Structure 1
Amino acid sequence: MRNRIFQILSAACLVLIIASCGETKSSETPAAEGDDYLVTIKTSMGEMKAILYDETPKHKENFLKLVNDGFYDSLIFHRVISSFMIQGGDPESKNAAQGQPLGSGGPGYTVPAEFVPTLFHEKGALSAARQGDQVNPERASSGSQFYIVQGTVTPREQLEGTDQRKIITAFRECMQTYPESDLAKEYQTVLTENPGDNAAIQTKVESTLDRLTELTGRTFSMSEARIEKYSTIGGTPFLDDEYTVFGKVISGLDIVDNIASVQTAPGDRPVEDIRMFISVEVMPRAEIEEKYGYKYPVVLEQ
Structure 2
Amino acid sequence: MPPILLLTTYLLIFLSPPKNEKTYPIGQIKTDKGEILFWLYDETPNHKSSFMKLANEGYWDTLTFNRVINNFVAQGGCPDTPAGFADSPYLLKPEFRPNIRHVYGAVGAGRDNNPQMLSAGCQFYIVQNKKGEHRLDNKFTVFGQVFKGMDVVDAIVAVKTDSTDTPLTPIKLDVNVLNLTAVELKKQGYSIK
Give the TM-score range, shorter chain.
Answer: 0.7 to 0.9
> What amino acid does structure 1 have at the position aligned with 2:45?
P
Which residue does 2:90 correspond to in 1? 109
Larger CA Rg, structure 1 vs 2: 1
- Once superposed, what is the RMSD of the aligned Cα atoms? 2.1
Which residue does 1:176 correspond to in 2? none
Which residue does 1:131 correspond to in 2? 112
Which residue does 1:51 correspond to in 2? 39
Name the CA distance, whole Å, in 1 between partners of 2:160 and 2:23: 39
Q: Is the 8 A contact 2:84 2:112 kept in 1?
A: no
SS in 1 for 2:26: strand
- Give CA deviations for 1:94-140 in whole Å, capped at 9, x if unaligned: xxxxxx989635333101100111111111111000111xxx22211
- Give CA deviations for 1:227-260 in whole Å, capped at 9, x if unaligned: xxxxxxx211111111000001110000000001
Which residue does 1:121 correspond to in 2? 102
1:74 CA displacement = 2.3
Gapped runs of 5+ residues in structure 2? 1-19
State TM-score, norm by structure 1.
0.54
Name the CA distance, whole Å, in 2 between partners of 1:56 and 1:285: 21
Which of 125, 135, 140 is matched with 2:118 structurally? 140
1:76 CA displacement = 0.7
In 2 relative to 1, CA 106–126 (structure 1 residues): closer, same or farther, beyond 3 Å?
Answer: farther
Which residue does 2:3 correspond to in 1? none
> What amino acid does structure 1 have at the position aligned with 2:36?
M
SS in 2 for 1:258: helix
Q: Is the 8 A contact 1:106 1:143 kept in 2?
A: no
1:291 CA displacement = 1.6
The answer as to 2:62 corresponding to 1:81 is: no
Name the CA distance, whole Å, in 2 between partners of 1:235 and 1:106: 29
Name the CA distance, whole Å, in 2 between partners of 1:103 and 1:64: 23
Which residue does 1:6 correspond to in 2? none
1:288-299 correspondence to structure 2 within 5 Å: 288=185, 290-297=186-193
The answer as to 2:15 corresponding to 1:34 is: no
SS in 2 for 1:79: strand
In 2 relative to 1, CA 286–118 (structure 1 residues): closer, same or farther, beyond 3 Å?
Answer: farther
Query: Which structure shows the bigger proportion of residues in strand conformation?
Result: 2
> What amino acid does structure 1 have at the position aligned with 2:96?
F
Name the CA distance, whole Å, in 1 between partners of 2:117 and 2:188: 32
Q: Is the 8 A contact 1:75 1:275 kept in 2?
A: yes
Which residue does 1:251 correspond to in 2? 148
Gapped runs of 5+ residues in structure 1? 1-31, 94-99, 153-233, 298-302
In 2 relative to 1, CA 102–49 (structure 1 residues): closer, same or farther, beyond 3 Å?
Answer: farther
The answer as to 2:132 corresponding to 1:151 is: no
> What amino acid does structure 1 have at the position aligned with 2:99?
T
- Give CA deviations for 1:9-53 in whole Å, capped at 9, x if unaligned: xxxxxxxxxxxxxxxxxxxxxxx7832112221101111111210
Name the CA distance, whole Å, in 1 between partners of 2:40 and 2:182: 12
In 2 relative to 1, CA 106–53 (structure 1 residues): closer, same or farther, beyond 3 Å?
Answer: farther
Query: How many residue pairs end up in the alignment?
Result: 174
Query: Which structure shows the bigger proportion of residues in helix conformation?
Result: 1
State TM-score, norm by structure 2.
0.83
Which residue does 2:132 correspond to in 1? 235
- Give CA deviations for 1:127-167 in whole Å, capped at 9, x if unaligned: 000111xxx22211111100001014xxxxxxxxxxxxxxx
Which of 164, 167, 185 is matched with 1:267 structurally? 164
1:207-222 correspondence to structure 2 within 5 Å: none
Give structure 1 regions of 4+ aligned residues with deviation exceeding 4 angstroms.
100-103
